[in-house]
Structure 1
Amino acid sequence: MAAAGGDKKMTACVTGGNGYIASALIKMLLEKGYAIKTTVRNPDDTAKNSHLKDLQALGPLTVLRADLDVESSFDDAIAGCDYVFLVAAPVNLGAQDPEKELIEPAVRATLNVMRSCVKAGTVRRVVLTSSASGVYIRPELQGDGHVLDEDSWSDVEHLRAEKPPLWWAYCVSKVLLEKAACRFAEEHGISLVTVCPVVTVGAAPAPIVSTSVPACLSFLSGDEAGLDALKGIEKTSGAVQLVHIDDLCHAELFLAEEDAAAGRYICCALNTTVVELARFLAHKYPQYGVKTNFAEDQLLEKPRVSLSSAKLVREGFEFSYKTLDEMYRGMVGYGKALGILPN
């Protein structure tokens, strides 16, 4: 990825380089010929950052210290960048005061990074990674057959009033930070695209993974908390939605480079259910003794609500991983490498 002169690499900043999605995005961008600057809160934490040293073998990768809570701390990382991938966000799920400890910091952090983009003066586009949890929590959707696109927003008033278990404040934070970023971009003339990924699977360089991968391997690992997370997603959203991390990363780059891209994009390759997942994994990996009888849980046989990535596909993107078999290829090996599954 060279500039018109042929001698200067395009430069991208990826925030939160020790995260699951960010680590995979950095790897892909380096392989595509980008020079990368990434941020972490503590560059000296080798347990969280060892993969970044390994990734430097692929191309120019600079690791800088930055804190989402500190204004201007992203200035150096974003200076001179062509693209900024805003991946890092607060995920304080155990907050005692979610409004003050998760929701407000998430909005503040997003705007901190956006301000650094304005200061840089070189940024062609900002790609904000949000979440499909900002799309699908709408209690008025009764019955089957609903298809949601980018015009759908999770109901913040409902979430704040009912405080349903499983990440209600996280869902609110995604809606509010998206809308704040959009307003800021319009006011300051920044080209902003937002990606709303669903539950993400597949291997990434990050050595510590704490969210979607353990949940999707919970059928095999016996992790009840992870399985409860998937059941909670199905209950609140009407399905379990999946995308492979390679597709997500390619979608983010596609939306960065595609001049006509604008607004919000759902990134979802497959709408399934807990029951469908369990049956597939029981057949694929019989040695794990996967439980397939969920009669007591009132789970769905088929998705009641589907998330549509028609907008993304319409603009020229193509998913490479569309089936459960493709999604889970390599997941057992990755689970073993992470220590989630026994060797």
Structure 2
Amino acid sequence: MKMKTACVTGGSGYIASALIKMLLERGYAVKTTVRNPDDMAKNSHLKHLQALGPLTVLRADLDVEGSFDDAVAGCDYAFLVAASVNLASGEDLEKELIEPSVRGTLNVMRSCVKVGTVRRVVLTSSVAAVFVRPVSLQGDGHVLDEGSWSDVEYLRAEKPTSWGYPVSKVLLEKAACRFAEEHGISLVTVCPVTTIGAAPSLNFNTSVPSSLSLLSGGEVWLGVLKLTERTAGSVPLCHVDDLCRAELFVAEAPAAAGRYICCGLNTTIAELARFLARKYPQYDVMRNLQTIDDELLEKPRACLSSAKLLRGGFEFEHKTLDEIFDNVFEYGKALGIDLPY
């Protein structure tokens, strides 16, 4: 039998590296793209992954038209994971982040049309494209599913913290959907929540430092955690292995279509603090919690629902805080997060 081949863009990144590992372990031949293959500081993990199976590392840039042609040629599936990330409120995020994000996504999809072998494109977006609204969620029982979209008009008008990121995700999703319909591409979009767990890449990500901020006491990352709860109405979590399993599931499932939220558990900062205090008593979690001066939720006001994914036949393997945090502490130390004990 011919070995299935997949392209994973952004191989130097956290989620992409975990997805590459899983694909190789499941017998796929994998082609991945990075901006500079010679940069071993960012890409050394790809050398180690090549021991697992056929992995080809190619140079490509989201800003360069046609640079993904070789990467997607001959591939059955294309996983679009590479993305521009700029969480700061810069002077011109429209030009620095939003336009490049949309342009880069369509650049890869044009290459998929050109080569003609790709059976399905799996776009990795974010629940940042789902839950950002003008008014914080009040009361309990909100269920946010794939029909929910962040409010782009509000974000552009009010420019709250990190506003460019959710705008970019909404616009690139909608642009990709239009392009897929116009060119007959089978497109599925996955919207991950805060994703944690060990991955081959040791490069920067935001989710692991924020999830461990109650241990490290890092004020910036505690702020990210607080912003997530205030905006989303919960702290939604997913283990990176479950996210990769979900991406592969929707790639291979013939009936998969549209958006899929990937969330293993909706929790709160208060619940997370109690869990971490029990699991790591050597850390002063409760003192770090006191630096978050806003009123904290005792239970989630909102649920980021993965019901559509579950109805399709997918099952999460990490459903509790204990399971989701199974190897995050050790991975955080490997990333250089200040965890002295």
TM-score strictly above 0.5: yes
RMSD: 1.2
**What is residue 198 of structure 2 aligned with on the other side?**
203
> Per-residue deviation at 1:267?
0.2
**What is residue 142 of structure 2 aligned with on the other side?**
146
Cα distance in structure 2, aligned partners of 1:210 and 1:260: 32
After superposition, residues 175-254 of structure 1 pair within 5 angstroms as: 175-254=170-249
**Equivalent pair of 1:275/1:294 in contact (CA under 8 Å):** no
- Residue 318 of structure 1: which of 305, 315, 318 is its match? 315
After superposition, residues 37-186 of structure 1 pair within 5 angstroms as: 37-94=31-88, 95-140=90-135, 141-165=137-161, 167-186=162-181
Cα distance in structure 1, aligned partners of 2:335 and 2:127: 25
Cα distance in structure 1, aligned partners of 2:264 and 2:176: 26
**What is residue 304 of structure 2 aligned with on the other side?**
307
Segments of structure 1 that go 5 or more residues without pairing to the other structure are: 1-5
Give the TM-score normalised by structure 1. Answer: 0.96
**Equivalent pair of 1:82/1:125 in contact (CA under 8 Å):** yes
Please state whether the residue corresponding to 1:57 is helix, strand or coil: coil
Kindly indicate whether residue 328 of structure 2 is the aligned counterpart of residue 331 of structure 1: yes
> Per-residue deviation at 1:209?
2.8
**Aligned letter for 2:146?**
E
**What is residue 342 of structure 1 aligned with on the other side?**
340
Segments of structure 2 that go 5 or more residues without pairing to the other structure are: none
**Aligned letter for 1:337?**
A
**What is residue 3 of structure 1 aligned with on the other side?**
none
Give the TM-score normalised by structure 2. Answer: 0.96
Please state whether the residue corresponding to 2:275 is helix, strand or coil: helix
Q: Mean alpha-carbon deviation: is it higher for 218-227 or for 255-264?
A: 218-227
Residues 48-80 of structure 1 show CA distances to partners (whole Å, capped at 9, x for unaligned) of 000000000000000000000111010010111
Please state whether the residue corresponding to 1:195 is helix, strand or coil: strand
> Per-residue deviation at 1:210?
2.5
**Equivalent pair of 1:220/1:290 in contact (CA under 8 Å):** yes
Sequence identity, in percent? 75
**Equivalent pair of 2:86/2:164 in contact (CA under 8 Å):** no
Distance 1:195 1:262, change over 3 A: same
> Per-residue deviation at 1:275?
1.1
Cα distance in structure 2, aligned partners of 1:96 and 1:80: 41
**Equivalent pair of 1:14/1:38 in contact (CA under 8 Å):** yes
Please state whether the residue corresponding to 2:285 is helix, strand or coil: coil
**Aligned letter for 2:58?**
L
> Per-residue deviation at 1:139?
3.0
